């Protein structure tokens, strides 16, 4: 078998160098290039750089929210599992309510998905927090509906729901009207938990060279 | 805001119908079309159908391994978090050794990554088991090296490491020489934990219509 790179630092450095060489990051201001780099690294697709929508201060505001100790609200366990805890600046709480015992009954009563029902349980935590959606379009749609009805607003919404039903539409709605929140969203069908978690990790820690 | 689909069954049905309409699944034998459908659903990319390499009996052998109670070995916590426990036919154990306390020192001694070191801890569990790699190329490379040195063989290797350094190469090595194991691998840079977990979920449960 051919030799392969085994040094973690060299792997990171080569990876991020490839992103910088192949992706067009010039249009990302205020630290968002770091977020884009980590998201691209998480999926191996430089082409998504051209499909990331964002508000100008999403990185700065998200970074400060974490530094201030605000929690991170995730739509599924995989996003929570991908958040690198040692990066978090204030031992921030990572909250996933999808498997709360009340969620199935709430979903039935709402005539919506469990993912949407779980968002309602974010109410005591969401003001000024970081939201990371990596799976369910219905979670993002319902969050936007709730905000329209007066739900407290998060500082930043990281919109990476994935798939063929509602993913593109929910992210387009977020980008068209972020309801006064900062946001990053990957337009189209692509997305996923790894991308949402990578976006959180970027808000927390930038890139490895920021930390050396 | 426009109305959106809120019924989980309808969302699944529309999603899988889209996959069937847009992806070419004709070349997948023996249940592998179900695995391909779930993997595509997990990433929103029908185009990956043409980049999946596999051995003919990977689905059947993996399905039977799970039915026989064999464990699932994952290279990272995110893959483990994406495995839907209620699908597992025998309350199969999901094992992630990446954060074992011995892993960092072992990695240093090996001059390899923590992901590679963690694979060595699979030895008591791996014979006839299902391996799901969704993050680290070094985990897949090192597993293949270990098998070459007489390590016990898993029944199936689900190869979905992602990224710019070693991902394409490790999956090409698996596809070129699967060492007598059944396998599925997504060629190229793309991959990730959600895809690896989706492949496990397919081995466990097929598609939703298989269960109705």
β-sheet with A72-74: strand ranges across: A52-54, A182-186, A156-159, A130-133, A72-74, A94-96
Q: Which chain B residue is nearest to residue A135, measuring alpha carbons?
A: B42
Give the model's pLDDT for residue B207.
84
pTM confidence score: 0.96
pLDDT(A176) > 90: yes
Give the model's pLDDT for residue A211.
60
pLDDT tens by residue, A35-73: 999 999 999 999 999 999 999 999 999 999 999 999 999
| Distance in angstroms (rounded) separating the CA atoms of residues A179 and A172 | 13
Report which DSSP code applies to A179: T
Cβ–Cβ of B163/A15 closer than 8 Å? Answer: yes
Give the model's pLDDT for residue A209.
74
| Distance in angstroms (rounded) separating the CA atoms of residues A203 and B70 | 39
The DSSP element (H or E) to which B58 belongs, if any, is helix B58-67
Cβ–Cβ of A1/B138 closer than 8 Å? Answer: no
Work out the percent of chain A whose per-residue pLDDT is above 90.
96
pLDDT(A175) > 80: yes
- Select the residue of B111, B145, B190 nearest A1 (Cβ to Cβ): B145
Q: What is the mean pLDDT of each run of 10 residues along chain B (212 residues)?
A: 92 95 95 97 97 98 98 98 96 98 98 98 98 98 98 98 98 98 98 98 88 54
The reply to whether ipTM tops 0.90 is yes
The DSSP element (H or E) to which B186 belongs, if any, is strand B182-186
> Closest approach of chain B CAs to the CA of A127, in angstroms?
22
Q: What is the DSSP string of A90-143?
A: T---EEE-TT-TTHHHHHHHHTS-HHHHHHHTTTTT-TT-EEEE-S-HHHHHHH
Q: Which chain A residue is nearest to residue B139, measuring alpha carbons?
A: A6
| Superfamily covering domain B8-210 | Cobalamin biosynthesis CobH/CbiC, precorrin-8X methylmutase (3.40.50.10230)
> Closest approach of chain B CAs to the CA of A83, in angstroms?
9
Give the model's pLDDT for residue B162.
98
């Amino acid at each position: 078998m051919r030799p392969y790179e085994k040094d973690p630092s060299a792997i990171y450095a080569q990876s991020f160098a490839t992103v910088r060489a192949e992706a067009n990051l010039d249009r990302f201001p205020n630290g968002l290039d770091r977020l884009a780099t980590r998201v691209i690294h998480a999926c191996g697709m430089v082409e998504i750089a051209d499909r990331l929508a964002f508000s100008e201060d999403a990185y700065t505001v998200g970074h400060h929210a974490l530094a201030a100790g605000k929690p991170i609200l995730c739509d599924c366990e995989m996003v929570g599992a991908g958040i690198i805890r040692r990066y978090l600046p204030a031992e921030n709480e990572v909250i996933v309510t999808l498997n709360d015992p009340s969620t199935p009954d709430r979903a039935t009563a709402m005539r919506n998905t469990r993912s949407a029902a779980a968002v309602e349980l974010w109410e005591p935590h969401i003001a000024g927090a970081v939201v990371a959606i990596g799976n369910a379009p219905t979670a993002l749609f319902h969050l936007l509906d709730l905000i329209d009805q007066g739900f407290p607003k998060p500082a930043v919404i990281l919109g990476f729901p994935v798939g063929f039903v509602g993913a593109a539409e929910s992210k387009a709605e977020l980008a068209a009207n972020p309801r006064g929140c900062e946001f990053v969203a990957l337009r189209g069908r692509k997305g996923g938990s790894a991308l949402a978690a990578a976006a959180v990790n970027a808000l927390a820690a930038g890139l490895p060279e920021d930390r050396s």
